[in-house]
Structure 1
Amino acid sequence: MTRWSAYLIDLDGTMYHGSRMMPGADDLINAMKYNHIPYLFVTNNSSRTPSDVAEHLRQMGIPAEAEDVCTSAVAAAEYIASMQPGAKVAPIGEYGLIEALKQAGLTIETENPEYVVQGIDRSFSYDKLAQAAKWIANGARYILTNPDLQLPGQEGIMPGAGTISAAIVAASSVEPVIVGKPSGILMKHAMERLGVQPDETAVIGDNMLTDISAGAHAGCGTILTLTGVTNRTNLPGLIEKTGVTPDTICENITDVQSLIVNSLESAT
């Protein structure tokens, strides 16, 4: 195996389930810190700020600071700012998205925006749908933080940002630019932050449709963990559906740690 020198790590389903840390997740991060291995937590979640995500991780016992976290909201904001600094944007989303747009120096504008930026919005309504369609019809570009159709909630599976997007696409007849996984834009943003290239980076995640596909699309290595939505039973079908085969498959996070540490030892 070619030794990867940096890692992009998924969160829900990989490092934790809800508020329960996956066994070995804390040890993995401590080992990476001890060995000075660059990494970022990379999440499609657009509702939380990086500080919020880091606090959630620390509460479970996983070492984390805001600078360790890369969200789809931050990547979307930086993506727009890189193309048009100070652009006028209309957010359809929650606190994490709005803060990311402000931090990127973009201007919140709901009269005549140049971009509509949509993430998860649990107060989404018919009025918001109509307004989004109007903005897009008037020429605003449509940016989607992430295409997740569903997300886990306290009461079971809930509609995700992708479900809201499906309504906006139907109302506007315009497909969005997708930033989050499985798009490679989020991966590219994370690698730029770390200052690494795809051939020296691996994506660690539990979801073939998002994490592993995003890593493959970005030219990174891929480490699939069988800790979440992908298991030995559905893996063959997911490989066929995505056209992607993981470079490495690990049963759990402890195996991921062993893989990374062993690769370090074999390189010295």
Structure 2
Amino acid sequence: MTSPAKPVRTWLSDMDGVLVHEEEAIPGAADFVKRLSERGRPFLLLTNNSIFTPRDLKARLARGGIDVPESSIWTSALATAQFLDDQRPGGSAYVIGEAGLTTAMHEIGYVLSEREPEYVVLGETRTYSFEAITTAIRLIEKGARFIATNPDPSGPSPQGPIPATGSVAALITRATGVDPYFVGKPNPLMMRSALNRIDAHSETTVMVGDRMDTDMISGLEAGLRTVLVLTGSTRAEQVDRFPYRPTMVLDSVADLIPFVDEWDDPDSEEVVDFAR
């Protein structure tokens, strides 16, 4: 953590717990994104949530005063669709999920069907259907490959935690004996697909997140520097319990704003001190 690092040219950031809590913007989030835009620094906002399309998320952020184009939002649904398009273009899948996932699958030309699909693709939804889960189990037993957008066992809601993709995937695995391939964080595949999307290099990119078990480890494994903010899932006293550490820990994204200028020197290849 004391070694110098190259200037920061591109940024990746989680959304929930870093920029917003449900519909409420976290103080400093709008200013952080604005500073990145003013400096002309390419950035991408990442989320494991596969429910919403980028257009939905753009509108959600806008309600909190955070102005982000759709092209700067990368979801686990988009990463999953890209992965399947790379693996088996023009294939078929039985999909459990909402508009964010089904739209992404349609856009890559996949056929969504219950009839001998090549894949079962599990995403997040607020209304998991026992009938749909049963269909998924039967299709997997017949040979369909099992893909899931992300491993998060629970997600936030105004009423408290609710079961998420990871929990439902565990149910299907218990019934079939087949483990899914998770595309979203902490799989570094999602991080690398995000880097490719904005033509970024891991050595000059920072990942900002609020979870040690997804954001920080995925950034670390993708070769990025990492900043943990304490406005979300991971508390300060929990950081030392993990066998790995983020490059920096800050109270919130508001504390990161001064570093956007300090770490960014587009005309220099000299190293800069990232440690604090």
CA distance in 2 between counterparts of 1:129 and 1:206 reads: 30
- Aligned pairs, how many? 264
Higher relative contact order (CA 8 A, sep 6+): 2
CA distance in 2 between counterparts of 1:75 and 1:183 reads: 11
Contact 1:181 1:214 in 2 (8 A): yes
Q: Superposition pairs for residues 114-129 of structure 1, below 5 Å?
A: 114-129=118-133
- The match for 2:88 is 84
CA distance in 1 between counterparts of 2:45 and 2:161 reads: 23
Q: Superposition pairs for residues 143-182 of structure 1, below 5 Å?
A: 143-182=147-186
Q: Offset of 1:267 from its aligned partner?
A: 6.9
Task: Tell me which of 44, 59, 63 is aligned to 1:59.
Answer: 63
Q: Offset of 1:121 from its aligned partner?
A: 2.6
Q: Offset of 1:124 from its aligned partner?
A: 2.1
Q: Offset of 1:140 from its aligned partner?
A: 1.3
Counting aligned pairs with the same residue, the percent is 33
Give TM-score scaled by structure 2 length: 0.92
Q: Which has the higher helix share?
A: 1
CA distance in 1 between counterparts of 2:207 and 2:140 reads: 34
CA distance in 2 between counterparts of 1:65 and 1:124 reads: 30
Secondary structure of 2:237's aligned partner = coil
CA distance in 2 between counterparts of 1:226 and 1:193 reads: 27
- The match for 2:274 is none
Contact 2:35 2:260 in 1 (8 A): no
Opposite residue 96 of structure 2, the aligned amino acid is I
Q: Superposition pairs for residues 7-86 of structure 1, below 5 Å?
A: 7-86=11-90
Secondary structure of 1:82's aligned partner = helix
Contact 1:77 1:100 in 2 (8 A): yes
1:109 aligns with 2:113: yes
- Structure 2 unpaired stretches of 5+: 269-276
CA distance in 2 between counterparts of 1:26 and 1:95 reads: 26
Opposite residue 5 of structure 1, the aligned amino acid is R
Render the CA deviation track for 1:48-70: whole Å, top value 9, x for unaligned: 00100011001110011211100
- Structure 1 unpaired stretches of 5+: none
Secondary structure of 2:156's aligned partner = strand
Runs of 4+ in 1 over 6 A off after TM superposition: none
Q: Superposition pairs for residues 222-241 of structure 1, below 5 Å?
A: 222-237=226-241, 239=242
CA distance in 1 between counterparts of 2:125 and 2:235 reads: 30
The farther-off stretch of 225-234 and 62-71 is 225-234
Contact 1:55 1:65 in 2 (8 A): no
